[in-house]
Amino acid sequence: MASALKKVALQLAPAGTRLSSGGAGTAGKHALAHAKMWERICLFGVLPGLVVASVITFQHEAAHHEPPPEYKEYEHMRIRKKNFPWGDGKKSFFHNPETNPLPGVGYEVEPKH
């Protein structure tokens, strides 16, 4: 069946028309060239760009890092009708003693900035 379709396609195609792209031999060389091109783009473009962006971000964040605000006891904040079911019941599951104040106590630890 495939050979019959090929014969019909050859008869219908104008003279000198190629029906394939050159075979598997040239496709392998073309794919290898593109693979090397993308490897070079990643190694010499993307990775240095990632390093530069990381350094800039780190410097920017370190330059304006501020200590947490002074703890003030407000009635409407940190209202807890019942204790948490773990530990002493006062600290949330993701409690950070430097950034999360406890009601009535404030910050447990001074920040190390």
Q: What is the pLDDT of residues 29-64, one digit of tens each?
A: 888 889 999 999 989 999 999 999 999 999 988 877
CA count, 13 A, side-chain hemisphere, 91: 13
- pLDDT, residue 57, reads 93
Spatial CA neighbour of 87 closest among 78, 79, 97: 97
What is the pTM assigned to this prediction?
0.41
What tokens does 48 get? 């240095």
Question: Quick check: 9 pLDDT over 60?
Answer: yes
- pLDDT, residue 41, reads 92
The residue-averaged pLDDT of 2-16 equals: 69
- pLDDT, residue 107, reads 85
- pLDDT, residue 105, reads 83
d(Cα 104, Cα 71) in Å, to the nearest integer? 10
- pLDDT, residue 62, reads 81
More confident residue, 104 or 42: 42
Sign, Cα dihedral of 62, 64, 70, 74: negative
d(Cα 27, Cα 17) in Å, to the nearest integer? 19
- pLDDT, residue 24, reads 54
What is the SS3 assignment for 102?
strand
The residue-averaged pLDDT of 61-78 equals: 80
